[in-house]
Amino acid sequence: MLGSIATFLFGMSIMTDGLEKLSSGRLERILERLTSNVFKGVLLGALVTGLIQSSAATTVMCVGFVNAGVMKLRQTVGIIMGANIGTTVTAQLLALGDISSDNLLMLFLKPSSLGPILAVVGIVLYLFLKGGRRQIVGQIALGLALLFIGMNTLERSLAPLQTLPAFQELFVAFSNPLLGVLMGALVTALIQSSSASVGILQAMSSTGVVTFNIAFPLIMGQNIGTCVTALISSVGASRNAKRTACIHLLFNVIGSLFFLLLLYTGNALFHFSFWDAVMDRGNIANLHLAFNVCCTLLLLPFHQTLVTLAEKIIPGDAEQRELSVLDERFLSTPSVALGKAHESAVQMGHFVLDNYRLAVSLLSHWDPRKLDRLNETETAVDKLQDMLDNYLIRLSGQSLSPEDSDKISELLHAVSDFERIGDYAVNLSESAAYLHEHDLSLSETAQAELNVVTAAVDEAIVRAVDCYDRYSREEALQVEPLEEVVDLIHKELERRHIERLKQGACTAEMGAQFLELLINLERISDHCSNVALCILQETAPSDALVRVDSHAYLHALHHGHDRDFEALFTQFRDKYYEMMPEEQTAAR
């Protein structure tokens, strides 16, 4: 019995994994784009979950999108409702085992026959057609085959239990609604799949001891237990992401309580004839489907109430992670569209600053929840870049003034620079992950040196974002001398580190990691300089050198032809070199 359950669960796992691979991110893009109203959300949630066969996976996607700001909290309600409907497809497939026709084609559809056939097809595709979509299709076929084979084996292993009094008494105990709901929730929470737990219940029905009043509370519990995955995924996420998981839980708990109260009260008054009827696989699949459809119809008119309730349960202002709106209607008014695009570019700047600070904190104190937040924000940055690039390209097709055309070019460059800063922040986090996974740590001296350069780069990003936000020439003028100081610190720390390597005070592995960190930090400051240069060009007179030849302008700055630059460079150099620890050999 345990072996067949293991086979069944493994089949469910690899089938779901294959379906998610086959979607190649397309289902996620459908979810985030086509949720303009709650009814579309229900249909899309059902479609996506029906294809990937995991309501938990769909809900976790929603949690991630909300945390990254790609999707608003209210957009997730319909998807969550639809996900509960879509997850019933597996139970309907397993119900094919009840087919009793003598027709050869119908017999081939029975899991006992279809399982081995799918296994042969799947193994041929999976083993002999390496790579590509055909191998993924083979994985899906193998998963479905194991699902059917595990189900069939489980039924056979349970057959001797039919006449065992203790087994019958155990199932009779589940007719207690509280115990039934609790058991269904616990089993589903443990295996993290309501489809799998319903499938196991369908297999149990072959013993003839599963009646309606036993199956009903178990199915209610299974719907509640599937919320655990989304709740776990929301740990360490934003408030709105937590509220998304909370809505999933509220939907299932409220629906289960309502129908439990309705049916148990109704049975007490009218003594339903179906109450003690024995359930087969098809009955259980239909009950599962009917409950989720009815639950959706019941709570769909109150979708806004669910959002309000989640906000009351998890109080406080939501973190600002929603992406700026780039409405297509603004395209007919280029000046307004450019203003909105500028707001989105500034938002990108704030996102990459947040990610940079998260990455730096991971270098000294590892926290997987911070890494999750960093990855979610990086997703938002990538989405913003795609949105802005597409929006600005469409805007460039309008009739524009020379100033507006220049503004589009400036925005595209700034967006690219902000995105690259975000990428380098991810590189820093990957270095932190490497150090954590290999149980390595920087010495006190190396950490102190790193703190100096990370503080200088932090100021460079802050000033770059601020000058871009306010079109501040004053702020922009301070970025290039700060970038020059970062270059100087980079060279100094590189020299010190090589000395430690020569003296054997540092391992080659740690040395490589430290130098990689310095390279990424120096490149971040380069992109900050690019952003500031955009503002200097925008705010300078038309005949200024920075507009005529930016390379000549930078060359003049770096070769002592600008007193203001030299004064700022000296100011920043003194500030950060005062923070620098004394040079010494650092053992690791």
Give just the sign of the alpha carbon dihedral 576, 581, 586, 588.
negative
- 444-470 vs 479-502: helix axis angle to the nearest 10? 160
- Distance of alpha carbon 288 from the chain centroid: 28
DSSP character at residue 274: T
- What is the CB neighbour count within 10 angstroms for residue 110? 17
Give residue-wise pLDDT tens across range 217-266: 999 999 999 998 888 878 766 788 889 999 999 999 999 999 999 999 99
Amino acid at position 301, single letter: P
- 393 and 534 fall within a common domain: no
Q: Which of 420, 439, 458 is the last residue of a domain?
A: 439
**DSSP, res 506:** S
CB neighbourhood size of 250 (10 A):
21
Residue holding tokens 């004839």?
Answer: 273
How far is 342 from 362, CA to CA, in rounded Å?
31
- Cβ atoms of 482 and 460 within 8 Å: the answer is yes
Same domain, residue pair 237 and 363: no
Q: How many other C-beta atoms can be found within 10 angstroms of the C-beta atom of residue 381?
A: 27
Using alpha carbons, select from 142, 116, 114, 148 the residue that is nearest to residue 127: 142
Ranges 298-307, 315-324, 548-557: which has the least confidence = 315-324
Pair 19, 33 in one domain: yes
- How much helix, strand and coil, in percent to the nearest 5, is found in the chain? 80, 0, 20
Residue 351 is predicted with a pLDDT of 93
3-state secondary structure 96-121: HHHCCCCCHHHHHCCHHHHHHHHHHH
Distances (CA, A) of 388 to 146, 326, 500: 45, 8, 46
What pLDDT digit, counting tens, does each position of 543-577 carry? 788 786 778 888 888 777 788 899 999 999 999 99
Q: With contact defined as beta carbons under 8 Å apart, do 358 and 429 qualify?
A: yes
Check whether residue 220 and residue 285 sit in a common domain. yes
Mean pLDDT for the stretch of residues 75-90:
92
Judge whether residue 586 has pLDDT over 50.
Answer: no
Residue 468 belongs to domain with CATH number: 1.20.58.220
DSSP symbols for 317-359:
PPPS-PPPP--GGGGGSHHHHHHHHHHHHHHHHHHHHHHHHHH
Q: What gap in Å lies between CA 399 and CA 306, rounded to an integer?
A: 46
Contact between residue 194 and residue 83 where contact means Cβ atoms under 8 Å apart: no
Among residues 265, 284, 313, the one where a domain terminates is 313
**Residue 353, pLDDT above cutoff 90:** yes
Residue 370, domain extent: 331-439
Angle (CA) 20-9-77 rounded to 5° is: 50
Give yes or no: residues 504 and 579 share one domain.
yes
> DSSP class of residue 276?
T
Asked whether residue 9 is assigned to any structural domain, the reply reads yes
- CB neighbours of residue 5 within 10 Å: 19
The pLDDT of residue 440: 87
**The pLDDT value given to residue 588:** 36
The lowest-confidence range among 61-75, 139-153, 176-190, 245-259 is: 61-75
Tokens of 274: 């179906």
Q: Are residues 503 and 554 in the same domain?
A: yes
List the one residue out of 400, 408, 449, 433 whose CA is nearest residue 576.
449
pLDDT at 361 > cutoff 90? yes
Q: How many domains does the chain have?
A: 3
Shared domain check, 574 and 493: yes
Same domain, 241 and 143: yes
pLDDT score, position 318? 54
Asked if the structure places residue 321 within a domain, the reply is no
Position 101 scores a pLDDT of: 58
* Domain contains 395: yes
Per-residue confidence (pLDDT) for residue 585, from 0 to 100:
47
79 is a domain residue: yes
pLDDT digits (tens, 9 = 90+) for 458-505: 999 999 999 999 999 999 999 999 999 999 999 999 999 888 888 877
For the segment 169-195, the average pLDDT, to the nearest whole number, is 86
- State the pLDDT at residue 545: 81
Contact, 138 vs 124, CB < 8 A?
yes
Beta bridge partners of 211: 278
Residue 96's CB: how many other CB atoms inside 10 A?
18
On the 0-12 / 13-18 / 19+ scale of CB atoms within 10 A, 150 is buried
| Residue at 66 is within a domain | yes
According to the model, what pLDDT value does residue 96 have? Answer: 76
Domain termination residue (choose one: 439, 474, 509): 439
Q: State the SS3 of 127-196.
A: HHCCCHHHHHHHHHHHHHHHHHHHHHHHHHHHHHHHHCHHHHHHHHHCCCHHHHHHHHHHHHHHHCCHHH
Residue 64 to residue 412: CA distance in whole angstroms: 27
Closest to 498 (Cα-Cα) out of 482, 474, 515, 481: 515
- Are 159 and 301 found together in one domain? yes
The answer to whether residue 130 is domain-embedded is yes
**pLDDT value of residue 584:** 62
> Which position has the higher pLDDT, 434 or 9?
434
- Residues 285 and 394 reside in one and the same domain: no
Over range 263-282, report the average pLDDT: 93
Is residue 193 one of the residues assigned to a domain? yes
523 and 424 in contact (C-beta within 8 Å)? yes
- Chain segment 43-67, per-residue pLDDT in tens: 988 988 888 777 887 887 788 777 7
Phi and psi at residue 504, to the nearest 5°:
75, 15
Closest of 390, 276, 555, 345 to residue 33, by C-alpha:
390
Average pLDDT, the chain: 86
Whether 246 and 364 share a structural domain: no
Q: What single DSSP character describes residue 326?
A: -
Of 44-58, 91-105, 215-229, 354-368, least confident by mean pLDDT is: 91-105
| One domain, residues 505 and 543 | yes
496-533 residue pLDDT tens:
988 888 887 777 888 889 999 999 999 999 999 999 99
Establish if 55 belongs to a structural domain: yes
Look-up of token digits 């199932």:
171
Instruction: Output 331 or 249, whichever has higher pLDDT.
Output: 249
Of 237, 228, 230, residue with least CA distance to 379: 237
